[in-house]
Amino acid sequence: MDIQRDPPKKTKRWITIAAVVGVVVVATVALGRMKPAAPTVDRGILYVDSVIRGQMVREVRGPGTLVPENLRFISAVTAGRIERIHLLPGAEVEVSTVLMELSNPDVQIQALNAERQLSDAEAALVTLRTNLENGRLSQASLVTDLKQQAADAKRRAAAGAELLKKGLIIPLDQQEAQDKADAYRERFRIESERLALLSSTIDSQIAAQVQQVDRLKSIARFQQQQVRSMVVRAGATGVLQEVPLQVGQWANPGAVLARIVPVPQRLKAVLRIPEVQAKDIQVGQSATIDTRNGLAKGHVARIDPAVINGTVTVDVGLDGEPPSGARPDLSIDGVIEIERLSDVLHTGRPAYGQANSTVGLFKLVDNGTHAVRISVQLGRTSVNQVEIVSGVVAGDVLILSDMGRFDAVDRVRIK
């Protein structure tokens, strides 16, 4: 027969439900308070370096080229068309070596006109000398005649005075003779002064014409030099480096026709240093030039005062012979030593961070299995190193590669 059973009590069921809900709430709160798992970074892509204490060499680096210390530019003296080029770059030249020939009919015409004007001026000088001498001689002859006439008139007046005393002539005749003597004497005086004036101006008139002839001679010589300059010569012993123009091209006055590197050839390095790194460079600092075929020692010889395209041009003189294969316009790299810092904390230069700034870097912890973000104050920087003022101690290992994608976390796991 059937056995009667009591229905289950509802109280136990509610207790069970409440317990489950409590467990869920507690678990949810606990999970919410848990930190997210640290992201993982592959050790193979990281650039790490240790912090050490010791000497640090501050350097700046920049690209550049090798250029000759002495370079001779051959420029066009006058305008002309290039008719012939005798030598090509690489040829050895002497002082009198003909490089090219130019032509310009206008220059030839100007030279001919200058010679014609000089000939006319020289002929005018001869004519002037002849006319002035003839005029002086004519005046001298006139003065001589007047002198003789004045003396004769004086004698006649004296004789008339004696005859007047004896009553042999009338006073009118005596007065007429005396007046004539006075007139000749006055004419003689005037013409003598005219002769003196004429004689004194002869030299100045001739000198003025001589100066005109000399000026025209200078102009004629200049025009002849213009004609001769169209036969372009090297003017120095060396190697022809460049001939920028071709046959048929027109060269204006001052245009570069050729470049010559004198022999013996001395090269220098011209570096382009970023302006933010050039502030500490000084003349005399040592430098190392990498020609990609060897290294050469040098020193800073000149610093350009201007900034061009964000860089400062620095000339480095080579202390010895450059490596084999070095030649003008060769691309190079240069490193200039700024100073040596003793007993400072330093490490490799991180991917970001300027001098005298504070940056966040990751430091390896837990035997290198994890890295945590720390604040590091940087000091002076070099090409590959940076001084550390505070934030780490000697022996710490820092991640120097770019960790920008982990800016939102303070801890990463290294695998």
136, amino acid identity: R
Percent of the residues in the chain that have a pLDDT greater than 90, as a whole number:
47
Instruction: For residue 307, tell me if it sits in a domain.
Output: yes
Instruction: For residue 4, tell me if it sits in a domain.
Output: no
User: What average pLDDT does this structure show over 263-280?
Assistant: 87
What is the reported pLDDT for 1? 46
pLDDT in tens, 46-104: 889 999 999 999 999 999 999 888 888 999 999 999 999 999 998 989 999 999 999 99
275 and 393 fall within a common domain = yes
392 and 381 fall within a common domain = yes
pLDDT in tens, 190-216: 888 888 888 888 889 999 999 999 999
Least confident of 153-162, 235-244, 274-283, 290-299: 153-162
Alpha-carbon distance of 319 to 299, in angstroms, equals 7
Of 200, 225, 250, the residue at which a domain comes to its end is 225
Say how many domains are in the chain. Answer: 3
What is the reported pLDDT for 31? 47
User: Which is higher by pLDDT, 71 or 107?
Assistant: 107
What is the reported pLDDT for 355? 84
What is the reported pLDDT for 266? 84
pLDDT in tens, 347-378: 998 988 788 889 999 999 988 889 999 999 99
Find the CATH number of the domain harbouring 243.
Answer: 2.40.50.100
**Range(s) of the domain holding residue 243:** 70-104+231-262
Of 262, 283, 318, the residue at which a domain comes to its end is 262
Question: Alpha carbon of 73 to those of 88, 234, 243: distances in Å?
Answer: 15, 9, 10
Per-residue DSSP letter, 321: P
Is residue 230 within 8 A of residue 110, CB to CB? The reply is: no
User: What are 190's two structure tokens?
Assistant: 């005037």
Instruction: For residue 343, tell me if it sits in a domain.
Output: yes
245 and 138 fall within a common domain = no
Answer whether residue 19 shows pLDDT above 80.
no
247 and 189 fall within a common domain = no
Per-residue DSSP letter, 382: -
Could you give the angle at which helices 171-229 and 105-166 cross, rounded to 10 degrees? 170
What is the reported pLDDT for 122? 94
Mean per-residue pLDDT over the chain, rounded: 87
Find the CATH number of the domain harbouring 395.
Answer: 2.40.30.170
State the burial class of residue 114 (Cβ atoms within 10 Å of its Cβ: 0-12, 13-18, 19+): buried
Give the CA angle between residues 144, 146, 148 to the nearest 5°: 70
What is the reported pLDDT for 223? 94
Percent of the residues in the chain that have a pLDDT greater than 70, as a whole number:
91
Is residue 98 within 8 A of residue 232, CB to CB? The reply is: yes
Is residue 384 within 8 A of residue 331, CB to CB? The reply is: no
pLDDT in tens, 287-330: 999 998 889 999 999 999 999 999 999 999 998 888 888 888 88
128 and 215 fall within a common domain = yes
279 and 245 fall within a common domain = no
Instruction: For residue 304, tell me if it sits in a domain.
Output: yes
pLDDT in tens, 228-261: 999 999 988 888 988 999 999 999 999 999 999 8
Question: Alpha carbon of 170 to those of 96, 130, 155, 195: distances in Å?
Answer: 96, 51, 18, 38
253 and 135 fall within a common domain = no
